Structure 1
């Protein structure tokens, strides 16, 4: 039971990392691998601000949030101006990710960076319910992921901007003919996606050491969450994140941590053979 619940909470972090990638892919048809770089920068900035200024790491979001919003909007502006196809956006964004990783190494070096207990009390805090123990950082991640997913779902389903984004996802040319400003909406969406990267980076830094190569370690799991949840399905992304977290946690305890990736990706292959569009895909961005 401890493994299941802890895995579900960690799955919240996976979902928080994946939701931005899923939405930009589903709505804007951009596979933005540079999103991992924004998460990495968000984590490093959280470390730097908390360590240098001695303030609460969560307060670093007052800096990293606006910074990553601007960075996300800027990346989307580049993609729009270049008019990239999905495949080309994959290549270009991967190149941008390599640049971000290299710059991170130049600034913070390749050494492990972790906030000390003096500036990051959350790393050692936990919540106990009976015999079950939950780390505060994973609780933060789960709650934030739930808030982000619920907010995105409500915006997409019940606002004009959300309906416009869904129209763009279906047919951007027709949506433009009905007065939908594709560029303005894409910039706004890119900025919001950057904000989710800041949230994910901060939560990750609360309980993990950071190196430039950490971004590569997120690839497989986060893409698994996006694909299983269904591209553009924000609610499905949250559910898939929990599923992946639970599966990894249970296998690590019952079998061994080394076999968790093997079992996880075997299950993903089987799931996609039965549900090629994802376990939670419904056919419409939501």
Structure 2
């Protein structure tokens, strides 16, 4: 029963990993930008949720009415900067890492470097759970999984069924040729950057529901999120979701069967093995790249 609980709980936590990774995967696959500043947007989204909830008494989920548009604008502005600088893929990694450091410092100056957590009085979701027989699932991880599923479904439908989605896929294949056929890559890049910022707001809000916040938390996301992006296949939204669930399940099961301390070792050993066998990712289908 413990293994079953760990498997299902890990799958739900994997939804949060996927929600964090989707934006990074899409910008990398479509726009050829390795946007580490995405972690900064998640961090700011989490802190804004914390601030609005604790200072104004707003329900944490209702703060999305503010944080999603705010992070949409931030993501679009960030992409505008990348376009203006005409950064190569590797240079975008360096520049965005610098922006991430600046964001972390700003968060530290505004909210301090101390741990911050929403009290149960204003955040009922942290203590609520859903029981199915002997299995218990925290509401926060259920929310993360559902939101990740909705984002993935929406992104998949947009990329496959709409003109904008087909144009984005054309940009991913060859920007110059797409432009010759009338595709405005700058406008579409701004829209995609904004959408990615909106997913960062969702991820930040869900993370803040059940975790303490500190500016340095952004660095802790690197390993897991990049693992999900690479395993899922760069630019593959459905693959990213599947990889997030897989990583969550593996971490959860290893923590129960062996020990939590060995989970990272087993996880990244499995990732290395998987990439040796499937260099483009376990779930890469070639839809975007």
TM-score band by shorter chain is over 0.9
Q: Does 1:90 align with 2:93?
A: yes
Question: 3-state SS of the aligned residue for 1:57?
Answer: coil
Q: Unpaired runs of 5+ in structure 2?
A: none
From 197, 203, 206, the counterpart of 1:203 = 206
**Which residue is equivalent to 2:44?**
41
**Which residue is equivalent to 1:144?**
147
Q: How many residues align?
A: 286
Q: Unpaired runs of 5+ in structure 1?
A: none
**Which residue is equivalent to 2:157?**
154
RMSD (Å) for aligned C-alpha atoms: 0.6
**Which residue is equivalent to 1:261?**
264
**Which residue is equivalent to 2:121?**
118
* Structure 1 residue ranges, 4+ long, deviating more than 2 angstroms after superposition: none
> Could you tell me how far 1:193 is from its partner in structure 2?
0.1
**Which residue is equivalent to 2:82?**
79
**Which residue is equivalent to 2:62?**
59
**Which residue is equivalent to 2:174?**
171
From 13, 16, 20, the counterpart of 1:13 = 16
Q: When the two structures are superposed, what TM-score results if normalisation uses the length of structure 1? A: 0.99
> Could you tell me how far 1:104 is from its partner in structure 2?
0.4
C-alpha distance in 2, partners of 1:9/1:283? 26
Q: When the two structures are superposed, what TM-score results if normalisation uses the length of structure 2? A: 0.98
From 82, 101, 104, the counterpart of 2:104 = 101
Query: CA deviation digits over 1:196-240, x for unaligned, max 9?
Result: 000000000000000000000000000000000000000000000
C-alpha distance in 2, partners of 1:278/1:223? 12
> Could you tell me how far 1:284 is from its partner in structure 2?
2.1
C-alpha distance in 2, partners of 1:151/1:123? 27
